[in-house]
Amino acid sequence: MSFTRRTFLIGAGSGVSLLVLTACTIDPKPDPSPTPTRTTTGLVPAPAAMERSAWGDDTLARGSVSYMAVGSTMEHREALGSALIDRVFFAGEATSTTNPGTVLGAQLTGNRAADEVTAASDPSERIAIIGAGAAGAEAARVLALRGFDVVVIEARKRVGGRVATVVATDWPFPVELGAWRLSPVTDGDVIAALEQLDVSTVSLDGAAQVFRSPTGETDSDPVSSTAMSTALQWAQGQQRDQSLDDSLDQSGALQTASEYSSGEVLGDELLLQHLASLATIYGADGSELSSWFTVDDTQPSTLVTGGMTRVVAESLEGVETFLSTTVVGVSYNERRVSLRLGTGESLSVDRAIVTVPLGVLQHDGIDFDPLLPFSHRTAIASLGMGTVDAVWLRFDEPFWTTDAVIWNLVGTDDLVTTWFNLEPLTGEPVLVGLVGGDDATRFELLNDDELTAALRETLAPFAS
């Protein structure tokens, strides 16, 4: 089963079907309108600046984060992270079994790969690290500290990978198009590193949120987390893994949620927005996410406002790093590793750590010779690569009146329904929208003008 905003409501039971049908009824005799109707876009001024990501379309990422697809297991992540005859090692968020899909998870795998290399070699060896993201940078930092001769090869003209900070004069602070949200509970080490580097963050502790539908609003959502935990708990007792959507449906959680309403906001609309918000973390919809391994964690926490890339760049201080250099092939035997570069040159090293994203491996971005073992190929095929995109909008002045920091749009077909209002936190009229899963794919198809127009419509319910 797969829920779209429309089928979800129809699938939720007869009462809700009725509601959808009622909403679609056309008034046979509309009143003539004396003045032209104002389009909602007119309520929201054009933004003074916009930055947006397109990770699905990025050939050096092919997505934003790895996720547990239905049927995948943690053994797949472990298999992906296992070394090839102690010559080629793997790191990167997708190989993390404890914190996949995060900066911390990537750093931990970089650390693990550095330990594996250390155990297999002696410090006079030359080690190549493919990729200058959080995993590659951490592996490089540790190995350089241990005296290895380290070279980092990065295809982009910048370091950071999916940590992607944009610094521009028309923005009051750095814009983050990649990782940006951290949890004080699980990401304590990253937050501590940012503090040490004097990189500013803002806390979302106690930040107000609002759930606004075209017909009303509420400031709390007491149903969707309960529905999710009911479904996930129910799924644990099933013979096989299945999608989150199926578990919500078959456990009865969807039906229970659909019986709730608060003001004009309905329980199943809240649940649908909860799934959209989850998609901004995993990059996948409920129809794709495993019920056995998905953790329902949409709780916002700390936002980085002082430039997240610093944590990666700092680790690479003093390490030989080649930018704009793509590795297209990795050949290995029991004595050496040879890297074929996009330029046609090759580089021979003692060992290599591959940290390219799962999406790149899924798209055969690197040729391995000999072929990767079956366990690696199974892992690459089984794990999911999801897409999350961000859009940052700066306005000359706020057009909104709410002080809420987290805005959720419910009961709409809009693409971007999860928003952060940075004005109460920073004093700057900046809104950040996040979108994940299929909506992110559609988001990337819009050009800047189309996206701006769509977002001005989307944000109209917040205009004073």
Ligand X SMILES: Cc1cc2nc3c(=O)[nH]c(=O)nc-3n(C[C@H](O)[C@H](O)[C@H](O)COP(=O)(O)OP(=O)(O)OC[C@H]3O[C@@H](n4cnc5c(N)ncnc54)[C@H](O)[C@@H]3O)c2cc1C
- Taking alpha carbons only, the member of 342, 284, 318 closest to residue 55 is 284
Q: What is the DSSP letter of 412?
A: S
**DSSP state string for 242-273:** -BHHHHHHHTSHHHHHHT-EETTEEHHHHHHH
By beta-carbon proximity to ligand X, the closer residue of 182 and 337 is: 182
Is position 327 an interface residue for ligand X (rule: CB under 6 A)?
yes
Q: Which range binds ligand X by CB under 6 A, 133-141, 219-227, 391-399, 443-451? A: 133-141
| 163: contact with ligand X by CB under 6 A | yes
302 in contact with ligand X (CB under 6 A): no
Choices 7-15, 161-169, 225-233, 410-418; region in contact with ligand X by CB under 6 A: 161-169
Counting contacts by CB under 6 A, is residue 108 touching ligand X? Answer: no
Q: Tell whether residue 357 is a contact of ligand X (CB under 6 A).
A: yes
Give Cα separations from 106 to 87, 192, 207, 236, 312 (angstroms). Answer: 20, 16, 28, 27, 11
For position 386 contacting ligand X by CB under 6 A, the verdict is no
Which residue's structure tokens are 């073992």? 373
Residues 179-198 that bind ligand X (CB under 6 A): 179-182
Q: Does residue 356 bind ligand X (CB under 6 A)?
A: yes
Size of the site for ligand X (CB under 6 A): 42
65 is a contact residue toward ligand X (CB under 6 A) = yes
Q: Tell me if 103 contacts ligand X by CB under 6 A.
A: yes
Q: Does 359 bind ligand X (CB under 6 A)?
A: no
Phi and psi angles of residue 4, each rounded to the nearest 5 degrees, phi first: -105, 175
Residues in the chain: 464
Position 391 contacts ligand X (CB under 6 A) = no
Closer CB to ligand X, 12 or 60, in the complex = 60
Shorter beta-carbon distance to ligand X: residue 133 or 411: 133
310 binds ligand X (CB under 6 A): no
Task: Extract the runs of DSSP E, i.e. beta strands, from 3-130.
Answer: 49-52, 65-67, 88-90, 126-130
142 contributes a contact to ligand X by CB under 6 A: no
Which letter does DSSP use for residue 41 in this model? G
Using rule CB under 6 A, residue 154 touches ligand X: yes
Rounded Cα distance, 351 and 128, in Å: 6
In 3D space, the residue among 272, 280, 290 whose CA is nearest the CA of residue 7 turns out to be 272
365 binds ligand X (CB under 6 A): yes
Of 156, 436, 204, 460, the residue nearest 321 (C-alpha) = 156
Site residues for ligand X per CB under 6 A: 53, 55, 60-61, 64-65, 92-93, 101-104, 106, 130-136, 153-156, 161-163, 178-182, 326-327, 355-357, 360, 365-366, 388, 390
